[in-house]
């Protein structure tokens, strides 16, 4: 018979309630930890999405509680609406321009910051300044810089021999889209640059040493060593840049408001105008659903291209 001082475990201790609760807790702990995130996603993302789809199938009248069912009438109207397709075109052009320009600037900056020079840490810290700025102060600063009378960008533009008058940055349909691309690139490239810099620092130095032994110059080393090593990071950043630019609203609204003449009206601006300028909530919901579907298709396209590139490298 075991006593209190007997160190030998009792036969029933292995099947005690404490052991059973510990086993159940270990098995369910991952699900319990993920439960708050799932609840948040269900309340603030999935439920609003379901309501948006429901609204797109009805006809909500401003000031009325009635919402008669209209089926796919809003989607039929959307597919035959020239303004919608123009917004899709502008969204794609804006997103692609931001991806190409922002990643190009970020790659060049990251390559520069990856070099050894005095004050490199300070420059890396200053690099994050544009990204840390809120959207509204950023647009206010750029609007002052683009002022036709005293803006520094307008003054620099007049230095060019083929420009005689101050450009109307936000009022010229040919310059408005380029203007918001410029502001978006300035705002977002530091984040991409820091991520690319982290990827560059993860490239093994042995690869560069082997390339130098083989007689490769800097351009050849960049093409055949650096670029393949950071290609997955660039693909991921391209996807993130598309998502960020696709849902951009504040910079565009504060800068041009979607104008002039719908030159910068992306899908986000179109949804706002339809819902809160024209109070056509049902049509705005339909455009929102279409925008969500287009973003999913674009993300799947990026994933497909990344897998194709990886399969080609493995072969």
Is the previous residue joined to 111 through a cis bond, with omega within 30 degrees of 0? no
From residue 219, alpha-carbon distances to 43, 197, 216, 224 in Å are 51, 18, 8, 9
Domains along the chain with CATH numbers: 73-314 (1.10.3720.10)
103 burial type by CB count under 10 A (0-12 exposed, 13-18 middle, 19+ buried): buried
From residue 137, alpha-carbon distances to 156, 174, 245 in Å are 22, 25, 18
> Alpha-carbon torsion 186, 188, 191, 194, what sign?
negative
Q: What is the pLDDT of residue 17?
A: 63
Give the Cβ contact number of residue 147 at 10 Å.
15
Query: What span, in angstroms and rounded, lies between the C-alpha atoms of 46 and 67?
Result: 21
> Alpha-carbon torsion 12, 14, 15, 19, what sign?
positive
Per-residue pLDDT of the chain (315 residues; tens, 9 = 90+): 445 555 555 554 455 666 766 776 777 778 888 899 999 999 999 999 999 999 999 998 777 777 889 999 999 999 999 999 999 999 999 999 999 999 999 999 999 998 888 888 888 888 888 888 888 999 999 999 999 888 899 888 888 888 878 888 998 888 999 999 999 999 999 999 999 999 999 888 898 889 888 888 889 999 899 998 998 899 889 989 999 999 899 999 999 999 898 999 999 999 999 999 989 999 999 999 999 999 899 888 888 887 887 777 776
């Amino acid at each position: 018979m075991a006593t209190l001082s007997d160190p030998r475990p009792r036969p029933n201790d292995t099947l005690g309630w404490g052991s059973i609760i510990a086993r159940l807790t270990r098995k369910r702990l991952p699900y319990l930890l993920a439960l708050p995130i799932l609840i948040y996603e269900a309340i603030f993302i999935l439920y609003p999405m379901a309501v948006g789809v429901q609204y797109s199938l009805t006809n909500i009248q401003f000031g009325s509680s009635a919402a008669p069912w209209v089926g796919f009438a809003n989607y039929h109207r959307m597919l035959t609406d020239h303004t919608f397709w123009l917004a899709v075109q502008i969204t794609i052009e804006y997103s692609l321009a931001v991806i190409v320009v922002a990643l190009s600037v970020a790659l060049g900056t990251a390559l520069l910051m990856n070099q050894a020079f005095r004050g490199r840490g300070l420059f890396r810290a200053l690099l994050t300044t544009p990204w840390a700025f809120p959207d509204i102060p950023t647009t206010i600063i750029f609007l002052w810089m683009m002022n036709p009378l005293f803006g520094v960008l307008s003054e620099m533009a007049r230095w060019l021999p083929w420009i005689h008058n101050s450009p109307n940055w936000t009022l010229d349909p040919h310059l408005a889209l380029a203007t918001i691309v410029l502001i978006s690139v300035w705002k977002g490239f530091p984040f991409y640059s820091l991520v690319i810099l982290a990827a560059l620092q993860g490239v093994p130095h042995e690869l560069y040493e082997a390339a130098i032994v083989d007689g490769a110059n800097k351009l050849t080393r960049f093409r055949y060593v650096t670029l393949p090593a950071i290609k997955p990071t660039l693909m991921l950043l391209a996807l993130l840049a598309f998502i960020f630019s696709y849902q951009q609203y504040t910079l565009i609204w504060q800068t041009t408001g979607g104008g002039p003449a719908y030159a910068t009206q992306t899908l986000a601006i179109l949804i706002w105008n339809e819902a809160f300028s024209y109070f056509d909530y049902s049509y705005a919901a339909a455009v929102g659903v279409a925008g969500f579907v287009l973003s999913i298709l674009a993300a799947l396209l990026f994933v497909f291209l990344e897998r194709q590139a990886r399969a080609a490298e493995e072969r």
